[in-house]
A = this chain, B = another copy of it.
Amino acid sequence: MSVPPAEPLTVPTLPDALAHAAREVEAALDTLLPLPEGPEARLAEAMRYAALGGGKRLRGFLAIETAALFGVAATCAARVAAAIEMLHAYSLVHDDLPSMDNDDLRRGKPSCHRAFDEATAILAGDALQTRAFEVLAEPNTHSDPLARAELVLGLAAAAGARGMVGGQMIDMLTEGRELDTAEVSRLQALKTGRLIQFSAESGAILGRAAPAQRHLFAAYGRDLGAAFQIADDLLDAEGTTEETGKTAGKDAAAGKATMVAALGPDRARAHAAMLARQAADHLAAFGPRADPLRELAQFVVTRRS
């Protein structure tokens, strides 16, 4: 009698893995953002409106997928993914405000201040940020308080004045002015790159990975984030509102500094492809189980929405 063959390692396809992560994120957000009684229910409604039911969940996917590589419990990974998506959702709500990008559309539906009102949108964004940090610090996220503190630190560094909000400030201050590629690259690293980088790192933090491994995921996230942002700018320049669910052509109309403006679309596309390959290469040591993460790098530069 022959020994039965070892069960082959089944690695889900990228679309399956993305859909799975999106469902996990959605379920976690639904649990972590309950609807209270009383007059403050409107605040929770606005928070849920902004955070639930939409988006590619790229950041949440990165957290869930890297955590799985380190054998982290799915419920813990989903909490971190949801916290990161809350932080991301808050930034979108505030970015869309009339005094900021003044955008009426988000994910194909009215932006939060259009669906509610400006004051409610400001408060909902504020409370989503608070809740993100709260979820990371709660014992259910990790039994080791050091991991929880490191998650809070990582998210704060990615999101604050030396990260996302700093990038948003630069973005606004440089509107209508031409930036060179180094300036655009720094702006985008702050505005979107750092949070995507942290998303990829967060699974390694949850998994108490060795520093060298954590750095590989940070490097992957950094290059992936840069590639993603260039692809996003190409979509803004070349896509339609129907395809992307966002107002198309806004960057050029607002005189925003993008890599497309700095390099032209063809060189920008080539640069994004190079970054995507570089991102995948950081994970060469992680075998087939990292295939979805490597494929993701290709996906972000070829997607149409």
Interface residues of A (CB under 8 A from B): 36, 38-40, 42-44, 47, 90, 94, 97, 99-100, 117-120, 122-123, 125-127, 129-131, 133-134, 136-138, 144-146, 148-150, 152-153, 156-157, 159-162, 165-170, 172-174, 190
Which residues of B sit under 8 angstroms from A136, Cβ to Cβ? 152
- CB contacts (< 8 Å) of A144 on chain B: these are 145
Contacts of A122 in B (CB 8 A): 94, 97, 99-100, 122
Q: Is A129's CB under 8 angstroms from B127's CB?
A: no
Neighbouring B residues of A190 by C-beta, 8 Å:
40
Question: Are B117 and A169 closer than 8 Å at their CB atoms?
Answer: no
- The answer for the CA separation of A144 and B173 in the assembled complex, in Å, is 40
- CB contact between A118 and one of B42, B99, B126 (< 8 Å): that residue: B99
A138-B153, A152-B137 known; A159-B173 Cβ under 8 A: no
16 extra interchain contacts, Cβ-Cβ under 8 A, other than A127-B160, A130-B161, A134-B153?
A36-B161, A40-B167, A40-B170, A47-B161, A90-B126, A94-B123, A119-B172, A122-B122, A123-B169, A125-B126, A126-B129, A131-B156, A131-B160, A134-B152, A145-B145, A145-B148
What are 19 A-B pairs at a CB distance below 8 A? A36-B162, A39-B173, A40-B162, A99-B122, A100-B119, A122-B122, A123-B165, A130-B156, A130-B165, A133-B133, A133-B152, A134-B152, A134-B153, A136-B152, A137-B153, A137-B156, A145-B145, A148-B149, A149-B149
Copies in the complex: 2
Closest 7 CB pairs of A and B: A134-B156, A130-B160, A99-B118, A137-B152, A145-B146, A43-B169, A127-B161
Contact residues in B for A148 (Cβ distance below 8 Å): 145, 149, 152
* Contact A120 B156, CB 8 Å, known A149-B148, A161-B127: no
Residue of B nearest to A190 (CB): B40
Residue with the highest number of chain B CB atoms closer than 10 Å, among A40, A118, A129: A40
A185 to chain B, nearest CB (A): 14
Chain B residues within an 8 Å CB radius of A99: 117-119, 122
A75 to chain B, nearest CB (A): 18
User: Which chain B residue shows the least CB distance to A46?
Assistant: B169
- Chain B residue numbers with a CB within 8 Å of A160 are 127, 130-131, 134
Do A149 and B153 touch across chains, with their CB atoms under 8 A apart? no
CB-based contact A40/B161 at 8 Å: yes
Q: A166 contacts B126, CB within 8 Å? A: no
- Which chain B residue lies CB-closest to A172? B119
Q: Are A170 and B39 in contact (CB under 8 A)?
A: yes
Shortest Cβ distance from residue A115 to the other chain B in the assembled complex, whole angstroms? 15
Output the least CB separation between A45 and chain B (Å): 10
